[in-house]
Amino acid sequence: MAQQEEVFKKIISHSKEYGFVFPSSEIYDGLSAVYDYGQNGVELKNNLKKYWWDSMVLLHENVVGIDSAIFMHPTIWKASGHVDAFNDPLIDNKDSKKRYRADVLIEDYLAKLDDKIDKEVQKAAKRFGDTFDEKMYRETNPRVLENQQKRDEIHTRFAKALNDNNLEELRQVIIDCEIACPISGTRNWTEVRQFNLMFSTEMGATSEGAMKVYLRPESAQGIFVNFLNVQKTGRMKVPFGIAQIGKAFRNEIVARQFIFRMREFEQMEMQFFVVPGEELEWFEHWKKLRMEWHQALGFGAEKYRFHDHDKLAHYANAATDIEFDMPFGFKEVEGIHSRTDFDLSQHEKFSGKKLQYFDPELNKSYTPYVVETSIGVDRMFLSILAGSYCEETLESGETRVVMKFPAELAPVKLAILPLVRKDGLPEKARQIMDDLKFSFSCQYDEKDSIGKRYRRHDAIGTPFCATIDHQTLEDNTVTVRYRDSMEQERVAIDSLQRIISEKTDMKNLLKKLSV
């Protein structure tokens, strides 16, 4: 774990050093849990958003996009339940004065118990070799049984306390588990209180006329309130989906872990409207498609897992998370929820406007049910950084840090490098750049030795480098160097456009997906 934490620190400093992510307002000592994306970060982020958008809107005839405003009528947040219930249970340690989410403290404790059990099982598996019967071992080993029983008991109490909104019991679980503050090491806890996560501000010029409005805590409500606009103007037939990418804001209690938990972040959400009664089938369908989308990136299936929710929100009848193996453990990057007709019904009630769909095939009107897929751009970005970050020792003994991004997402696709800054090589390189820049993102670089330039491009994950040397002037060929294998190949300038386009085209990822 300590080694993983070390890797996480390195990823954070690498992100800053190479223009991926900067702390916001840094010259003013930063603003907690707010970050800016740099010149390479924004390219990677845009590519990631395009991958999601195209997988939704381009590949599905029955999914269309919108871009709704961040400010919305405040009653929307009453209807959605956010004003009354978008809370996290917080608890403070009286000695360190640090604030925690009570549910997260308990979840971490449960994860530690799981870890203990798994380690015990792994140890035994090694000891017994091929004859090892894991099921029997789990059912009979006293240490495993004891930890499993402890885990199950705590888990049951925890899930019940959350469901009953029983804050005293949540605190009691923390006390009974002897959970200590990681900073002070003490168990001197305050009461657990609910804390609303929405930011608010005032809209309007005069103080009497001002209206309290919220910065949206999710982009989904912008989709619900436009459901009929899109259905009618797009002549959409249920089942159909509406996709949106946009900023969301949450006043998170615990905002550490870099861009994993931010106060301003971006979401990519798709609400899929279905005939009531068919939602669980669609839920399974989208679960499968979304996992495929993640796995198509090639980081390995073992890096992802589903985590079904212990506590279903009052409006949901099924919910799962897709988790990624971050340097700090498996964590949620995406939520998939079957939200019933809760949102549309609530908006119907609060707005007084009908939000029903007339189904020509069933010849009746109804409020569609909704299956939602909701993914955080920034968390996804972090999973890509974590999955791509690689330190390698070369034959020369030198180490290189290489970001093994999927080529389709890499900020720069091709580096164009004249071997030396003379003899007409820079001019030739510029000519190539001027030709190729219309097809994909290229970067011209003539400073420092060729080795240093390769390292620089490894560090930002450029999948291909084209080196222009004296032979280029004679036969119009260049050396293409591959980031991951470091192999080099001589190719004709005329074929560069085709070779690089083929290897970096978003189509490659999209074609791996089923629709």
Footprint on this chain of ligand ATP (rule: CB under 6 A): 218, 250, 252, 261-262, 265, 267, 332-335, 374-376, 378-379
Q: What's the rounded Cα separation, in Å, for the pair 455 and 99?
A: 41
For the CB of residue 513, give the shortest distance to ligand ATP in the complex, in Å.
20
How many CA atoms lie less than 13 Å away from 271 in the CB half-sphere?
25
Name the one residue in this structure whose structure tokens are 């109804």: 366
Residue 124: CB minimum distance to ligand ATP, A: 33
In angstroms, give the least distance from the CB of 310 to ligand ATP. 12
Closer to ligand ATP by CB, 379 or 428: give it: 379
Q: What one-character DSSP code corresponds to residue 59?
A: T
Nearer to ligand ATP, 151 or 261 (CB): 261
Burial class (CB in 10 A: 0-12, 13-18, 19+), 108: middle
Nearer to ligand ATP, 310 or 332 (CB): 332
CB nearer ligand ATP, residue 92 or residue 218: 218
- What's the closest the beta carbon of residue 114 comes to ligand ATP, in angstroms? 18
Burial of 333 (0-12, 13-18, 19+ CB in 10 A): buried
Of 317 and 356, nearer to ligand ATP (C-beta) is 317
Q: DSSP alpha helices (H): ranges in 185-319? A: 220-224, 227-233, 279-295
Nearer to ligand ATP, 261 or 294 (CB): 261
CB of 346 to ligand ATP, least distance (A): 17
Measured from the CB of residue 16, what is the shortest distance to ligand ATP in angstroms?
A: 18
Residue closer to ligand ATP, measured from CB, 265 or 282: 265
**Phi and psi dihedrals of 246, rounded to 5?**
-170, 170
Are residues 481 and 454 in contact, defined by beta-carbon separation less than 8 angstroms?
Answer: yes
> How far apart are alpha carbons 495 and 259 in whole angstroms?
40
Please give the Cα distance from 457 to 304 (Å, whole number).
28
Q: How far is the CB of 83 from ligand ATP (least distance, A)?
A: 16
Number of H helices, E strands in the chain: 18, 23
Instruction: Name the E strands within 215-263.
Output: 240-249
Q: Which residues pair with 264 in a beta bridge?
A: 249
Q: For residues 318 and 460, which CB has a smaller minimum distance to ligand ATP in the complex?
A: 318
**Phi then psi dihedrals of residue 371, to 5 deg:** -110, 125
SS3 at position 360:
coil
Q: In angstroms, give the least distance from the CB of 85 to ligand ATP.
A: 12
Decide whether 375 or 442 has the Cβ nearer to ligand ATP: 375
Under 8 Å between Cβ of 77 and 83: yes
| CB closer to ligand ATP, 261 vs 481 | 261
How far is the first Cα of the chain from the last one, in angstroms, to the nearest whole number? 38
Burial call 249-265: b when 16+ CB within 10 Å, e when fewer: bbbbbebebbbbbbbbb
| Cβ-based neighbour number of residue 18 at 10 Å | 19
**Residue 250's closest CA among 32, 80, 75?**
32
Smallest separation (angstroms) from ligand ATP to the CB of 335: 3
Q: CB-based burial of residue 426 (10 Å sphere; 0-12 exposed, 13-18 middle, 19+ buried)?
A: middle
As measured in angstroms, the least distance from the Cβ of 333 to ligand ATP is 5
Q: Tell me the closest approach of the beta carbon of residue 326 to ligand ATP, in angstroms.
A: 11
3-state DSSP call for residue 121? helix
Query: By C-beta, is 250 or 303 nearer to ligand ATP?
Result: 250
Q: Which residue is it, tokens 């994860």?
A: 111
Q: Please, what is the minimum distance in Å from the beta carbon of residue 22 to ligand ATP?
A: 17
| Residue with token string 């999914």 | 63
Closest approach of ligand ATP to the CB of residue 316, in Å: 11
**CA 16 to CA 29: how far, in whole Å?**
15
Token reading at 32: 């907690």
Residue number of the CB closest to ligand ATP reads 376
Instruction: Name which of 141 and 251 has its Cβ closer to ligand ATP.
Output: 251
Closer residue to ligand ATP, CB minimum distance, 384 or 416 = 384
Q: How many of the other CB atoms lie within 10 Å of CB of 302?
A: 7
